[in-house]
Amino acid sequence: LLDSSGNLAAMNEEQAKGVYHLFTAAAYFFPLIGSIIADVVLGKYRTILYLSLLYCLGHACLAVMDIAPHMLGMGMAPWMYAGLLFIAMGAGAIKPCVSAHVGDQFGPRNRHLVSKTFGWFYFSINTGAFASTMLTPIFLATVGPWLAFGVPGVLMAIATFVFWLGRNRFVHVPPAGGQKFVEETFSKDGVRALINLSPIFLIFIPAFWAIFDQTGSAWVLQAEGMDRKLGIEWLPSQIQAVNPLLILILIPVFTYIVYPAVGKVVKVTPLRKIGVGLFVTAGAFGLSALIESNINGGFVIESSSQSEVTGWARERLIDGDADGAGWSSRLRAADAEEEHEPEEVIVRLRERGVWTIDAVEVNPHAEKGKKPKHIEAVEWNATAPDLENYAKGVTVYARNARDTTQSDADGNPVWTEVGSAELAQENRLQAISFDPIEATHVKFEFDSNWGGDRIKVGQVR
């Protein structure tokens, strides 16, 4: 994001995830409004048609965001928020009404085709999802938001126009009106249906979507820490394309092979499909948690710090995500000789394994934030970071604890110096590269700062 002057005004990861999930929550809230509007006032067809135009407007706002700082003298953020709001409101028509409108097209003569039709309907949706998750990150990285969000907006406008062309061919179910809506919803049968469905909709469905929607936020960030080379170097956000791709493959497999085969043994109903699917996806989420535990870093096994917080959390170590809260040395002693002793941090690499490494990165930024338990607790306050305490000189050592030659006669570790650098006084990861070496442990030796009374480091990886 850029501000009105064209300067960088980016969100941090937590802010980005917060905005993403607020948008997702809105995209699931407005369907409640859209469904009531369709049932009571406009009917499904007109609700879809009118609010799809709002959806197109949302994409237009996201596309205009690209030129706002330079041509309109505005920051990108207002256009982004407006675009997300309009798209969420447009989803109020699409999510609850489109599937129901498809169902309206079936009567007694063609009802046997409902299951296959919805399978192919879902197939077409995921074709678009696959194409967009593959192409949009490329458009965004190589051209900019105007193309990345403009293309889906134009395609949505074309789809809305085609939908309008079929206005005289569709079956239109008129809105029931407010009175009938209330009568049917709170009738004896309606209340019984709500009670029977409430465990599914109040427990299982929210839990599923709360985790599934991490695919667009936390799972994309997770992909940044993974090896994405498979023929080519895939972008982190393109990892999401695997989901619609597998759906495209498995829909015909299940429709024409699995369901008919299972149907010979037990009756296959929509609720049974959902129930089995929830159990299967629980395993998928567990697999993601296992991957995350492997991606996250090692463990500080030793440091010369005497602060009240003696270790770093896993997420701030090797392969972790910087959040600006890190490690701080003890307060400097008055003794000049001791004052210049280097500070050491020894990190055991993840999974206690032997890893071939050829670089480490250090971010000296350690911020005094809102959570004192995350940083050095002595003299904590909520002021801005103290640049003088940023680490300056660092030497990196490596050791393979499983190699007996890397210990002396007394069993003490023998370290191999692999690189050194002078860190800039900046809030960014700074790389120290060296020849590949097998290691189980890495030692960071900080021998200077920018003149403060301690040495601080925000992240190593």
Taken in order of first residue, the domains within the chain and their CATH numbers are: 13-295 (1.20.1250.20), 299-460 (2.60.120.260)
Q: Mean of the pLDDT values across residues 209-228?
A: 75
Lowest mean pLDDT among 12-21, 165-174, 243-252, 425-434: 12-21
Q: Mean of the pLDDT values across residues 215-222?
A: 75
Residue 449: the pLDDT is 83
Indicate if the pLDDT at residue 275 is higher than 50: yes
Between 60 and 6, the more confident residue is 60
Q: What does pLDDT average to over the chain?
A: 79
Q: Mean of the pLDDT values across residues 351-374?
A: 68
Q: pLDDT band for 456, please (50, 70, 90 cuts).
A: confident
Q: pLDDT band for 435, please (50, 70, 90 cuts).
A: very high
Structure tokens at 460: 């190593």
CA distance 86 to 202: 27
Query: pLDDT exceeding 70 applies to what percent of the chain?
Result: 84
Q: pLDDT band for 396, please (50, 70, 90 cuts).
A: very high
What residues contact residue 75 under an 8 Å CB cut-off, 6+ apart?
Answer: 1, 2, 3, 4, 9, 68, 69
Q: Is 380 left (phi over 0), alpha (psi -120 to 50) or beta?
A: beta
Q: pLDDT band for 225, please (50, 70, 90 cuts).
A: low
Per mean pLDDT, which of 99-103, 338-342, 347-351 is the most reliable?
Answer: 99-103
CA distance 174 to 46: 10
Lowest mean pLDDT among 17-21, 93-97, 145-149, 223-227: 223-227
Per mean pLDDT, which of 80-84, 108-112, 206-210 is the most reliable?
Answer: 80-84
Residue 294: the pLDDT is 66
Q: Mean of the pLDDT values across residues 37-44?
A: 88
CA distance 351 to 349: 7
In terms of Cα–Cα distance, which of 101, 84, 83, 79 is closest to 34?
101
Terminal-to-terminal C-alpha distance of the chain: 26
Indicate if the pLDDT at residue 70 is higher than 50: yes
Residue 53: the pLDDT is 92
Reported as a single tens digit per residue, the pLDDT across 78-100 is: 889 999 999 999 887 788 888 88
Lowest mean pLDDT among 49-58, 149-158, 200-209: 200-209
Q: Which long-range contacts (CB under 8 A, 24 or more apart) does 374-377 make?
A: 374/309, 374/313, 374/323, 374/325, 375/309, 375/325, 375/326, 375/328, 376/305, 376/307, 376/308, 376/309, 376/327, 376/328, 376/454, 376/456, 377/307, 377/308, 377/309
pTM score, whole prediction: 0.57
Distances (CA, A) of 221 to 80, 135, 295, 320: 20, 18, 11, 10
Indicate if the pLDDT at residue 397 is higher than 90: yes
CA distance 394 to 320: 19
Residue 326: the pLDDT is 65
Lowest mean pLDDT among 48-62, 154-168, 222-236, 301-315: 301-315
